[in-house]
Amino acid sequence: MTWVCLGWGSLLWRAGDLPCCGSWRVDGPRLPIEFARISADGRLTLIVLPGQPRVQTYWTALACSTRASAVRALAAREVCGPEHIGWWSGGRGCAQVAPQVLPEIASWCGERELAGVVWTDLPSLFASRAGRPWSPRAAVDYLRACAGETRRRAEEYLRRAPAQTYTATRLLAEQELGWLPDPRVTGLSSR
């Protein structure tokens, strides 16, 4: 039985060694996604953030037949421990950062009769790295203050995120920084 992976950020344009089978499909579950994690390289990246408006996510089949192999594959791509990979299968699931999304993912998974699904379940780290709580305003202020290579990577990430991932932070970044979506995200399918 094939497992699938949900995506909403750089997985869509840089899957790396993630064993994807085919294109990313545009009809994943609607989840509360926001630009709210400051990564190790300074980019402001998309994560599941409870309490935010829901946006459309993407999904693709993986060349993995077990939960363990799917979790391992996504954890390796995300360079994180398996505890930061959410999963759902057979009426059970795990999401440490955002357990609120489990019912939505369970329903979506059941409608498609999928064996199981994995997704990245990383914490924000915004407050500890930016020195203030996350908000769309704080996020755009952070982006504005970035310089050099950090700013380049941050802008590329925000602009390359799919246009349908329209969040409050993205709207503010478009208005104040002029960072419009970049159409280079490829390999997506409406199947």
pLDDT tens, residue by residue, 29-72 = 999 999 999 999 999 999 999 999 999 999 999 999 999 999 99
pLDDT tens, residue by residue, 140-167 = 999 999 999 999 999 999 999 988 889 9
> Max Cα separation, the chain?
47
pLDDT of amino acid 182 = 83
pLDDT tens, residue by residue, 92-129 = 999 998 899 999 999 999 999 998 999 999 999 999 99
Query: Angle at CA 57, nearest 5°, toward 56 and 62?
Result: 155
Q: What is the pTM of this model?
A: 0.93
Residue 188 has pLDDT above 80, yes or no: no
Domain coordinates in residue numbering, the chain:
3-182
pLDDT of amino acid 2 = 79
Q: Which of 71, 190, 166, 61 is nearest to 121 (CA)?
A: 71
pLDDT of amino acid 190 = 40
